[in-house]
Amino acid sequence: MFTIISRIFQFGFKNFLRNGWLTTITVIIMTLALFVFSWLIFFGVVTGRAASSIEDKIDISVYFNTNTAEDEILSIQQSLENLPQVASVDYVSRDQALAAFEQSHANDPTITQAVSELGSNPLEASLNVKAKDPSQYGAIASYLGSSTLSQYIDTISYNQNQGVIDRLARIVKTVEVGGAVVMIVFALLAGLVVFNTIRLAIYANREEIGVMRVVGASNVLVRGPYVVEGVLCGAIAAILALIVSAPLLFGVNPYLNVFIPGLNIFPYFMSHILMLSVYVLGFGVFLGGVSSFIAVRRYLKN
């Protein structure tokens, strides 16, 4: 068994080196496919962080009528906190709202004077509600719109925030689908190139294979070297895809950090290099091995 395995790997390496430009083209096409695959992983990280960053800034603000008692507002706050869809509820009293308003307009004497001349606090108390998931804001808004609560509420800022969430979800979904389609196309193209490369190699070595079968070589010994060749193409392509990705991620990292504060894609790449290598290498080996296996199997059936 050890002798058979060693011969399979020996012949596989020889085939890999002997095919020359066919092997080079195969590796290049597979590198492109695996490059797209790896960047789909990075894109998932970027969109996930972007969505989380936006979701952290989105909530429902519930403004209460100025004649609503504070005890009633606190009771509504407690009822909201008991809802399974709600992550947190922050209460902002009328005095806190006024203090924040005056602080934000401290450099505008016109507004400061206008507020002081009113003689009373015109601002409303509010509750800022964050949902556990953006899709749950509708249920929270419906709860706040019930007849028992609506009598105390002036406005609910749900529609504006929901529009932002929906647009974000559509953009992310469209780009994810587009990226997946591109990856599938490149994977199919790479698999087809590997398939045809192995078929050409088999055709070039048909006399050698014929002699092997005449002397009683098993299908495993005939098929093995070509599968090893395909696996080598996939492994080398995976390594090249990761090598090419590293400087590109380093270059785009500052620009991504401007749009999404706190997102450092290059440090993420370096800290998860082992996991990414397993994913990309596994996909490359699978793609090359399966394509080669199918090509040789079709030949052996003929």
Mark residue 119 as left, alpha or beta (left: phi above 0; alpha: psi -120 to 50; beta: remaining).
left
Q: What count of residues does the chain have?
A: 302
Please report which confidence band the pLDDT of residue 8 belongs to, taking 50, 70 and 90 as the band edges.
Answer: confident
Q: Which letter, b or e, does each residue of 228-263 get, where b requires 16 or more Cβ atoms within 10 Å of its Cβ?
A: bbbbbbbbbbbbbbbeebeeebeeebeebeeebeeb
Instruction: Count CB neighbours of 57 within 10 A.
Output: 8
Strand 60-64 with 86-92, pairing:
unpaired
Contact 210, 32 (CB under 8 A): no
Which residue, among 4, 3, 13, 5, has the nearest Cα to 229 in the 3D structure? Answer: 13
Three-class SS state of 92: strand
Contact 34, 288 (CB under 8 A): no
Sheet containing 153-156: order of strands? 86-92, 126-131, 60-64, 153-156
Q: Which letter, b or e, does each residue of 69-85 get, where b requires 16 or more Cβ atoms within 10 Å of its Cβ?
A: eeeebeebbeebeebeb
C-alpha distances in Å from residue 253, one per residue of 40, 271, 279: 16, 14, 22
Per-residue model confidence as pLDDT tens digits over 181-234: 776 777 777 777 777 776 776 666 667 667 766 776 676 777 788 788 888 888
Both tokens of residue 218? 């098993």
Dist. CA 144–CA 147, nearest whole Å: 8
The residue-averaged pLDDT of 103-118 equals 71
Dist. CA 4–CA 226, nearest whole Å: 14
DSSP strand E in 132-230: where? Answer: 153-156
- pTM for the whole thing? 0.64
The residue-averaged pLDDT of 237-264 equals 84
Per-residue model confidence as pLDDT tens digits over 146-188: 878 888 888 888 766 667 767 766 766 776 677 677 767 777 7
CA dihedral 104, 106, 109, 110 (to 10 degrees): 20
Both tokens of residue 242? 């990761």
C-alpha distances in Å from residue 68, one per residue of 7, 124, 204: 86, 9, 88
Q: What residue segments make up the domains of the chain, in order of their start?
A: 2-54+166-301, 66-151
Please report which confidence band the pLDDT of residue 239 belongs to, taking 50, 70 and 90 as the band edges.
Answer: very high
pLDDT of the residue at 1: 64
SS3 content of the chain, % helix, strand, coil (to 5): 75, 5, 15
Report how far Cα 105 is from the mean position of its chain's Cα atoms: 41
Dist. CA 209–CA 203, nearest whole Å: 9
Q: What is the DSSP letter of 85?
A: T
> What are residue 272's phi and psi, to 5 degrees?
-115, 25
Query: Taking the domain 66-151, which CATH number applies?
Result: 3.30.70
Per-residue model confidence as pLDDT tens digits over 122-144: 788 899 998 887 778 888 888 88
Best-predicted range by mean pLDDT (144-148, 171-175, 259-263, 275-279): 275-279
